[in-house]
Structure 1
Amino acid sequence: MDAPIDLRPVFRAHWPSYGPDWDRAIELGIDVAQLERNLALTPEQRLLNHQSARQALQQLRAGMKRDR
C-alpha cells in the first residue's frame, strides 16, 4: 500500500500562519482545508451535513449486517 500523501507543505504554502495553534494543527496532519470549508458553513448547514453523514453510516452498518 502506498504511503499517504503529505499535504503539510501545500497547507503551509496556501494558508498564512494564523498563529502557533494553526501551525501545530498542520504539523499534526489536520486537514485545514476542510476546517476552512466547515467554518464557512452556517450552523444549520453543518448540522445538515452531520445528519447526512450519520444516515450514510447507519445505512452502511445495516448493509454490513445483512451481508454477514
Structure 2
Amino acid sequence: MTFNHLIWISGGSTWLQRFTLQPFGQFGAAEGFVFISGLLAGASTAVRHYLRLKHARKPIAAP
C-alpha cells in the first residue's frame, strides 16, 4: 500500500506494481489501511492496559 502510493505520487511505474497495485482477493488498499490502523490501535490499548494493571499490582512496601 505504501509502495503504491509513493510510486503514484512520483508519477512512475515499476514492475513491482504488477503484483502490489491490484487488490488482493476481496481487500484493497483502503481496507488494508483500516485493518492496520485498527491493529495498531488495539495493540497500543492492550499495552497501556497491561502496564496499568502491572503498576496496580505492585506490592506495598512494609513500613
TM-score range, shorter chain: 0.3 to 0.5
**TM-score of the two chains, using structure 1 as the length reference:** 0.42
Q: Which has the higher helix share?
A: 1
**Larger gyration radius, structure 1 or structure 2:** 2
**TM-score of the two chains, using structure 2 as the length reference:** 0.45
